[in-house]
């Protein structure tokens, strides 16, 4: 069980990961012709604009306190596909932007972790920095892997819908309402952990090796 101090330290990288994931969706949507997120003030790193009280605050804190592991989500950035020149393909690119942002943030936190190990003298400050960076690496890898699962409404599901022939994409999209139930079912049966853990470990091992921390 994580203590309150660790929870407070972990909140920064967790909220950052969730927030910038959504900003990335909105930013790519804007570049592809949809200004909806911009008009609603969602292209900002201010987490208040993206916070979902349950998914961004309560859920990560409770999971950290109970399991020592955190996960969460933010309010989805609104996207109007009617503004895209190529709705199906462009929506897939918007979906990919979220997991890609988490990969970039995982690399950023790995860089911070490397600096703290190699150049900071051992102290309470360096230990706090290493803890925050570790959480940042893990939460971003986890968010990336989870969101790449080919299940609607996750980003991976949006990508699949974007690359399928249109008539099959329409059929596939009809199962979106069942997607969240499927994720919950996989979570409570333990299968989600069996799917995610090896994938997270592979990415984590690669990044640690890349930065000479393996």
Coil, strand or helix: which one is 1?
Answer: coil
Tokens of 135: 């959480």
- Which residues of 133-178 form beta strands (DSSP E)? none
Please, how many CA atoms are within 13 Å of residue 5, restricted to the half-sphere of its CB? 6
The one catalytic residue among 13, 16, 22, 93: 22
What are the distances in angstroms from CA 23 to CA 88, 155, 173, 180, 196? Answer: 20, 14, 24, 22, 24
Tokens of 157: 């599901």
Crossing angle (nearest 10°) for helices 124-147 and 87-119: 160
Sign of the Cα torsion 77, 197, 150, 64 reads: negative
Active site residue 176: no
Q: Which of 211, 209, 200 lies closest to 147 in space, CA to CA? A: 200
Which residue in the block uniquely carries the two structure tokens 């059929």? 171
Q: Which residues are catalytic?
A: 22
């Amino acid at each position: 069980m994580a203590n309150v101090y660790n929870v407070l330290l972990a909140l920064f990288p967790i909220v950052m990961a969730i927030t910038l994931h959504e900003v990335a969706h909105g930013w790519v949507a804007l570049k592809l012709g949809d200004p909806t997120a911009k008009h609603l003030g969602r292209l900002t790193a201010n987490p208040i604009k993206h916070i979902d009280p349950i998914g961004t605050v309560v859920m990560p804190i409770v999971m950290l306190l109970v399991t020592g592991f955190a996960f969460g989500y933010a309010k989805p950035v609104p996207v109007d596909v009617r503004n895209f020149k190529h709705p199906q393909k462009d929506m897939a690119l918007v979906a990919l932007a979220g997991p890609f942002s988490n990969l970039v943030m995982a690399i950023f936190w790995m860089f911070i972790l490397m600096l703290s190990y190699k150049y900071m003298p051992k102290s309470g400050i360096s230990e706090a920095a290493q803890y925050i960076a570790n959480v940042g690496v893990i939460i971003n890898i986890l968010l990336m892997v989870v969101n790449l699962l080919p299940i609607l409404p996750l980003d991976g599901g949006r990508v699949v819908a974007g690359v399928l022939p249109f008539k099959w994409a329409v059929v596939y999209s009809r199962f979106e309402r069942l997607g969240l139930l499927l994720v919950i079912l996989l979570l409570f049966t333990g299968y989600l952990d069996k799917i995610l853990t090896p994938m997270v470990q592979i990415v984590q091992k690669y990044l640690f090796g890349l930065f000479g921390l393996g």
